[in-house]
A and B are shown apart, each in its own frame.
Chain A
Amino acid sequence: RKEVEQDPGPFNVPEGATVAFNCTYSNSASQSFFWYRQDCRKEPKLLMSVYSSGNEDGRFTAQLNRASQYISLLIRDSKLSDSATYLCVVEFMDSNYQLIWGAGTKLIIKP
């Protein structure tokens, strides 16, 4: 079983709609969580960190559910420019520090 799992998609969503996707993780000792955005043939860039209480940045909301071991990303009023792959990243420390990357969820916003 992969340590960090994401639905690869693609999610095809009309412009203006709300879309949400999840990321599940297997290590209960995971400490911190992040969402990165990656455009086609570009490098990943930090979208937002995910806090225990949930956090919002404009149209984007990230939530953490430790009991069920998943994080979520919700995008409201989606724009064409939101089309990208969204990578989930989980950070934990056991014998050494580890950063585990999900394979990403591809999102396509259609006009």
Chain B
Amino acid sequence: DVKVTQSSRYLVKRTGEKVFLECVQDMDHENMFWYRQDPGLGLRLIYFSYDVKMKEKGDIPEGYSVSREKKERFSLILESASTNQTSMYLCASSPGGSTYSGNTIYFGEGSWLTVV
């Protein structure tokens, strides 16, 4: 079974703090993703990475950065947390190349971030 592990399930941070959300996958997947999910909105892609040290902006990258130093690990960084970044953050991984499709994505359990 594919396992995607997000290090923190629930966090409360203060405005202006630097926040790290860590994600690890154990299936040697090339692709990794960070999404946020808010009520009434579909999952929105923040960043994705298709290889080590590679990253691409998604639909809402502003206020976020990412790091992928190892294939299995993809970190999301909020340089200066703001209240409008209160949300559920979902990490996902998938195989790369032609095998990547909407039915090959595996999610972590999610990280609930509250910025006060």
A interface, CB within 8 angstroms of B: 2, 4, 8, 32-34, 41-46, 49, 87, 89-91, 97, 99-104
Contact = CB atoms under 8 A, between A and B. Distances in A.
A44 B42 contact: no
Interface of B: 40-45, 90, 100-103, 105, 107-110, 112
A90 B102 CA distance: 8
Contacts of B43: 44, 87, 101
B107 A43 contact: yes
CB-based closest 9 A-B pairs:
A101-B42, A43-B107, A101-B43, A91-B102, A34-B102, A103-B42, A49-B103, A89-B102, A102-B42
Contacts of A91: 101-102
A87 B107 CA distance: 14
Contacts of B103: 32, 34, 46, 49
Contacts, number: 45
Contacts of B108: 43
Nearest to B109: A43
Contacts of A49: 102-103
B100 to A, nearest CB: 8
A90 B42 CA distance: 11
18 contacts: A32-B101, A34-B102, A34-B103, A41-B110, A42-B109, A43-B90, A44-B43, A44-B90, A45-B107, A49-B103, A87-B42, A91-B101, A91-B102, A99-B102, A99-B105, A100-B42, A101-B43, A103-B42
Given A32-B101, A32-B102, A34-B102, A4 B107 contact: no
A8 B40 contact: yes
A27 to B, nearest CB: 14
Nearest to B10: A41
Contacts of B41: 103
Which one of A8, A32, A102, A103 has the greatest number of beta carbons of chain B within 10 Å? A103
Contacts of A43: 90, 107-110
